[in-house]
Chains A and B, each alone.
Chain A
Amino acid sequence: MRLAATGLRWVPALIIAAGCAVTGSAGPETSSAPTRAIPEARGEIRTLPDGTREALRYAGWPKTDFGRFRTYAYGDSRPEIAVQRGTMPAGATGDPKKGRALFTSRAKGPCTGCHLIPGDDVWPAGNAGPDLSTIADRRLTNEYLYQQIYDARVIFPQTAMPPWGASGAFTPAEIVDLVAFLQTLKGPRPPEKDPDRDPETRTKPVGFGDNLDPTNNPAVLLAEGAEAQWKARGPGGKACADCHAGGADAAMKGVAARYPKIVPRYGRVMSIEDFLSAHGPETTGTPLPMESEGNLNLTMLVKMASNGMPVTIDTDSPETRAALARGRAGFYRRVGERNHACADCHTPEKGANKFLGGRFLGDVTSGLTRHFPTWRTSQNQVWDIRKRMQWCMTPLGMNMLPADAVEYAEIELYLTSFDVGKPLNVPGIRH
């Protein structure tokens, strides 16, 4: 596997970076193309001396290997988790107390992420799924409820409800406890003391204010530091400024508005981040691996030069149309342990403009890309959209692809098609 340009440290021999290996049901370990990302962003899986596999991800992220479940990789031809009819264990009587604990456990779902139930301690429940507060009044059989949790696709083939039993996320005994708990949820509903508890009446998030105010958004201050980077000579003896005269703001005006795009030199869709990771080493000799501080800061600098200008990506050429179609297929592709597609949360027909736990889900049709890279207040870091994608799929149980994977780039292209005509506004500031 080709390593990125000089400057990257050799990763320890423990790491198996088998770009193309498909080991039976374990699945491919990385997307098959070479990557120019920092080690934590490559989606690598390593095998420890005791034989267990763990994922190398960003600091603080879980290390769980989700190799059993399919990914976005174009070479990953595994089907989604097979639809399965579950059989409720005979004579099982569940424990409603255990069931409630499982329902609210963040180590599992939590189920409250999508479903409201009664309780002052239920904070914050979501409404991406139906309100279950009085589900027992519907007098559904235990077997029906069991199947809904085990694999709801048997009943509703297009459901976004994860196949909790079929994937093994919940054991049959746990599902029995959950069913017993649900059967205790009879009306009448207790009066709502706090309108924010119920996601239907909850105050919507107000955001973090003016994203371009340097006393409000630390990313703006950090992007200013990239001006010096623009002028700095790389190992090759040249600076960005040597070829791109007039300062970054003038030289790069309008450039970012046309990305992501197919870059003929590299034969693939690239965002500004992707492009810089290849262009930097080739011109100035400076390595700018994906997800490095240098790459993110320069990306912000380049994009800010187009702030206020409408996104004008190509959506017409035959090659771009084909890439858009692949990106759209990726957006609708069911992946991971939870068997979710981006579309399950981010389209108005499904979860968009509803709460997932305490998070208000964005609507792809409103345009979700033009504020990236964004400052994230919860992380105190700048994130580009690739890292956001990589994070999103981790709790959903999918091994991440490298940050510069063409699969992500084409999904990003599809997302950006909804920003066309809308003004760039970088860096954003978000939770």
Chain B
Amino acid sequence: MTEQHGFSRRSVLGTLGVLGAAAATGALARPGRATAQALGMQETLDAGLKRVFGGRPIKDAGGLVKLDVPLIAENGAVVPVSVEVNSPMTPSNYVKHVYIVADKNRIPIVTRVAFAPEAGQAYMGANIRLGETTDVRAIVEQSDGTLLQAKREVKVTVGGCGG
């Protein structure tokens, strides 16, 4: 669809432009960043997961990843999410990325957080938008490339007046 293609092109250029500017000012800590996957694309969940993770296996995190989301969100505009990963955060063993994914959002890959070991703790929090009741996932990428996932359903509620 022309509009979708045009939008994603703008989004990719925007993201790369930002990365390029950041690189020029030396704000990027690690050289690998400039090739990071673009975010902000409208796509299906499956297309997004495939695009970002290829076919790499994503294992259930068990107790290693604590994903905190409300059971019921009073509205889809502001939904608090936080993730804490049990990780030593040493240079040889740390969490590289946490992705927040909202399965049914038009832009399902909501945000990607990158960590240096100096963060001390693989912890993040953000307020996100949900279009409707959906599973919300935290996909964690370890420094050795392992992918772990925790997910919970968040019900988005509405009022009863019909207004």
Contact = CB atoms under 8 A, between A and B. Distances in A.
Contact of A396 (B74, B75, B155, B161): B161
For chain B, what secondary structure do more than half of its interface residues adopt (helix, strand, loop), or is it mixed?
loop
Interface string A372-395: 000001111000000000011011
A394 B161 CA distance: 9
Given A202-B72, A377-B74, A431-B74, A358 B163 contact: no
A204 B58 CA distance: 34
A357 interface: yes
B133 A357 contact: no
A355 B158 CA distance: 11
Interface centre among A108, A112, A203, A431 (most CB of B within 10 A): A431
Contact of A395 (B72, B78, B162): B162
Interface string B39-71: 000000000000000000000000000000011
A110 to B, nearest CB: 6
B158 A124 contact: yes
A72 B27 CA distance: 60
Contact of A377 (B70, B71, B77): B77
Interface string B145-163: 0000000000101111111
A391 B162 CA distance: 12
A378 B162 contact: no
Interface in A291-342: none
A357 B155 contact: no
Size bracket, chain A contacts:
35 or more
Contacts of B78: 208, 377-378
Contact of A358 (B71, B77, B160): B160
Contacts of B157: 123-124, 357-359
Nearest to B71: A203
Contacts of B133: 123
Contacts of B158: 106, 124, 357-358
A129 to B, nearest CB: 10
B74 A357 contact: no
Interface centre among B71, B80, B159, B160 (most CB of A within 10 A): B160
Given A110-B162, A112-B160, A208-B74, 6 more contacts: A110-B160, A209-B80, A358-B159, A378-B78, A395-B161, A431-B75
Interface of A: 62, 106-110, 112-114, 123-124, 126, 128, 196, 202-203, 205-206, 208-209, 355-359, 377-380, 391-392, 394-396, 431
Interface of B: 70-72, 74-75, 77-78, 80, 133, 155, 157-163
23 contacts: A106-B158, A110-B162, A124-B160, A196-B155, A203-B71, A205-B74, A206-B70, A356-B161, A357-B160, A357-B161, A358-B72, A358-B74, A358-B158, A358-B159, A358-B160, A359-B159, A378-B77, A379-B77, A392-B161, A394-B163, A395-B163, A431-B74, A431-B75
